[in-house]
Amino acid sequence: MRYRTLGGTGIEVSAYCLGTMMFGAVGNPDHEDAVRIIHAALDAGINFVDTADMYSAGESEEIVGKALRGARRDDVVLATKFHFPMGEGPNRGGNSRRWIVRAVEDSLRRLGTDRIDLYQVHRPDPATDVEETLAALADLVRQGKILNFGCSTFPAEEIVEAHHAAERRGLPRPRTEQPPYSILARGVESSVLPVCRRYGMGVLTWGPLASGFLTGRYRAGRPVDLAVGRARLNPDRFDPALRLTERKLEVVERLVELADELGCTLPELALAFPAAHPAVTSVIIGPRTAEQLESALKGAALELDDTVLDRIDAIVPPGTNVYHPDGAWRPRSLTEVAQRRRPAGERAVATA
């Protein structure tokens, strides 16, 4: 296992980060089995574990807490996230100070620890001033409840705004970003990753297997079982009648040929790809089973040379998204019609 420095924090983390979204009701509900998987990852050299409060409504954090009890905790760089609603009613999510001070206590309790090494803002919150969020996180750093903080799936402009706000207020700045990044989703290469490099941020990427499309399980001309795996969680992404699905499968067939030539598996190629980018610190792998973990670890030493990366560029050009990788969040500028159109009375009258 290779290790890299997480931005400017001075913390050394493994090039693979264990993501735990699939531990709990959403994926693997067997707590003892999930704990064994976490221990196997640590034994293999992974020292970076990422979770979030909303993964299976806190169950993932509880499982991670069980796995890290005792001496294991001090050997692990522990990351979690807040933002998405945790329960019914207002003010039980978002990026306000009111929610942050509650969310961090809940996460510390579920994780069974007295500090979080990396506390991440899971998504932007247009209802909250970024300075409000930064000030609340700065207080948690001073209290020792979190050691560093970062963001996840933020557009480049929001990352820049956060840094400028921190400079204006004399506050600690975000140390990391967690963007989606895979061969099928290269959009972050255009601006997010360059911005992270400019500000010296660590980058831990999620979704390297593109919701399962880069596992090799889904191939052109083969039926998709919508009752298992990622297809069960997001069936709309696997609809064979959609042109988007056809496009993804076309790319997969070309990548399978490339992997065969290299003598590696498609997942090994897929995981090695984001790790090759100079801005990337660690690639999050999210196994549901011990077999999936073992498969991912087999490619940990694989490094892609320029010839291979050039061939990948020919299949999916740099900065290109074959599909939109984040179905959980999109900016208001795209989702709300009122953000894109003037009120009817203010629109210019079209003339011939």
Task: For residue 290, give the 3-state DSSP assignment.
Answer: helix
The secondary structure of residue 299, as a DSSP letter, is: T
Tell me which amino acid residue 78 is.
L
Q: Which distant-in-sequence residues (6+ apart) come within 8 Å of 251 by Cβ?
A: 183, 184, 315, 316, 322
| DSSP code for 160 | H
Give the dihedral of Cα atoms 287, 241, 179, 156; nearest 10 deg: 180
Question: Which two structure tokens, joined as six digits, stand for 34?
Answer: 């999930």
Cβ-in-10-Å burial (0-12, 13-18, 19+) of 227 comes to exposed
Which neighbouring-strand residues pair with 77? 48
Taking residue 170's Cβ as centre, other Cβ atoms within 10 Å add up to: 7
- Which residues does the annotation mark as catalytic? 55
Query: What gap in Å lies between CA 36 and CA 50, rounded to an integer?
Result: 16
* CA 95 – CA 151 distance, rounded (Å): 11
Distances (CA, A) of 122 to 18, 94, 149, 177: 17, 9, 11, 10
